[in-house]
Amino acid sequence: MPARDALERALLEELQLWWEGLNERLFGGAMRAPVLTLRDTGRQLGSWERHSRQLSLSRPHVHTASWGQVVEVLKHEMAHQFVDEVLGVTEETAHGPTFRAVCAERGIDGRAAGTVEDSREGTHTRSRVVARIQKLLALAESPERHEAEAAMRTARRLLLKHNLSAAEARSEARYAWQQLGKPSGRLPTHERILAGLLGQHFFVSCVWVHAFDPVRGRRGRVLEIAGTPENLEIASWVHGWLLETAERLWRDHRRTRRLRGDSGRRRFLQGVMVGFHEKLQQENAACAETGLVWRGDAGLADWVDQRHHRLRAGRRARVHTDATWHEGRAAGQRIVLHKPVGASTERRGRRLESPHRK
């Protein structure tokens, strides 16, 4: 088992580095490094033990959850360590008022799940909105192009109206986050364009965050989206659907042109994303003519700033255009966003359902 032991050592070393960084950033460097361990338990995601000074994480959870969720558990247990060793509060219950205050001041999820709990009313509203959009996207599968286009436009207009109404009605929005895909050392340009598309047209904030893949023992970055639960649900599905659709369009293009190899694949995929982005921009302009204009969500921006601190803008995706790129762009402009066959079934590990299900 040498390879497995090496991966576990690399994982513990990475967790130690994250502990050190979080200690400086969230706790002012006030704590001493604990003994970091992994335990074979799925019932408890993490624990802090005062006497042994052990901070433990669940090995099954570390290997199956997103890295963002692993870090949330680590921050949660660090908050326990801070309350215990720095503040010296031992009379309260584990999740008492001091612990909750420490978490709130630092943007830490007191439940360590990385998501928000929905009230019954919020869950009902989200389900109703998403269900209506699913029905419209099912109509967008129509072979009659004008009917399909109309259904897609109606679905997006419904989503816009829902967000405008919610922004006016809510006094305090409930936000959550979700990481899409696996950490990668490379960020393909078409995926960076897609992230910008989601942020501009689907009411979520998109950030490329550092992450670690415990299975391969490698560092990388992964796309993290944040927003209200219903927007996360829709944006995560759109992300997976567009990636699959772009790859299918490239295969069709290569077969039609009788091309060999994938030398033009990246430029074609970039063109697809740009073309679909331009199509959505045209729809936004049409909505604006009727008075439906999205001004952004200041509450979400503040929430993301608190979560990530010192967030810096990333580099703009650099695109080199040629004939292949323009053909991809034309294909992207013809895309009709629609519900996949069996939207309730898994599709490349993504499911069109609430991201908060345990």
Condensed to tens digits (0 to 9), the pLDDT of residues 123-150 reads 445 567 788 887 888 877 778 888 888 8
Work out the average pLDDT over 88-105.
Answer: 92
How many percent of the chain have pLDDT more than 90? 52
Q: Is pLDDT of 222 > 60?
A: yes
In angstroms, rounded to a whole number, what is the distance separating the alpha carbons of residues 189 and 192?
5
How many percent of the chain have pLDDT more than 70? 85
Output the pLDDT for position 107.
Answer: 85
- The overall average pLDDT reported for the chain is 84
In angstroms, rounded to a whole number, what is the distance separating the alpha carbons of residues 71 and 18?
8
Q: Is pLDDT of 114 > 50?
A: no
Q: Under a CB-based contact definition with an 8 Å cutoff, are residues 187 and 236 in contact?
A: no
Output the pLDDT for position 127.
Answer: 67
In angstroms, rounded to a whole number, what is the distance separating the alpha carbons of residues 113 and 47?
14
Of the given ranges (61-75, 100-114, 139-153), which has the lowest mean pLDDT?
100-114
Q: What's the one-letter identity of residue 326?
A: H
Output the pLDDT for position 289.
Answer: 77
If you count DSSP H runs as helices and E runs as strands, how many of each does the chain have, helices first?
11, 6
| Each residue's pLDDT tens digit, 248-273 | 999 999 999 999 888 899 999 999 99
pTM over 0.95: no
Q: Is pLDDT of 347 > 50?
A: no
Residue 88: other Cβ atoms inside 10 A: 8
Output the pLDDT for position 242.
Answer: 94
In this prediction, residue 170 has a pLDDT band, given cuts at 50, 70 and 90, of low
Of the given ranges (22-36, 46-60, 98-112, 130-144), which has the lowest mean pLDDT?
130-144
Q: What size, in residues, is the chain?
A: 358
Output the pLDDT for position 320.
Answer: 79
In angstroms, rounded to a whole number, what is the distance separating the alpha carbons of residues 347 and 169?
34
Of the given ranges (10-19, 321-330, 345-354), which has the lowest mean pLDDT?
345-354
Q: Under a CB-based contact definition with an 8 Å cutoff, are residues 83 and 48 in contact?
A: no
Residue 185: other Cβ atoms inside 10 A: 9
Of the given ranges (26-40, 167-181, 188-202, 278-292), which has the lowest mean pLDDT?
167-181
Top-confidence residue, 15 or 306: 15
Of the given ranges (7-21, 49-63, 199-213, 288-302), which has the lowest mean pLDDT?
288-302
In angstroms, rounded to a whole number, what is the distance separating the alpha carbons of residues 249 and 255?
10
Residue 257: other Cβ atoms inside 10 A: 11
Q: What's the one-letter identity of residue 198?
A: L
CA-CA-CA-CA torsion sign (328, 138, 196, 69): negative
- Beta strands 54-58 and 35-39: pairing type? parallel
Output the pLDDT for position 169.
Answer: 67
Domains of the chain, CATH where assigned: 2-106 (3.30.2010.10), 120-333 (no CATH)
For 74-77, which contacts have Cβ atoms below 8 Å and span 24 or more sequence positions? 74/15, 74/18, 74/19, 74/22, 74/46, 75/22, 75/26, 75/106, 75/108, 75/109, 75/112, 76/46, 76/103, 76/108, 76/109, 76/110, 76/111, 76/112, 77/46, 77/47, 77/48, 77/112
Top-confidence residue, 338 or 310: 338
CA-CA-CA-CA torsion sign (67, 71, 74, 76): negative
Work out the average pLDDT over 334-352.
Answer: 52
In angstroms, rounded to a whole number, what is the distance separating the alpha carbons of residues 88 and 330?
63
In angstroms, rounded to a whole number, what is the distance separating the alpha carbons of residues 319 and 352?
31
Q: Which two tokens stand for residue 120?
A: 């019954």
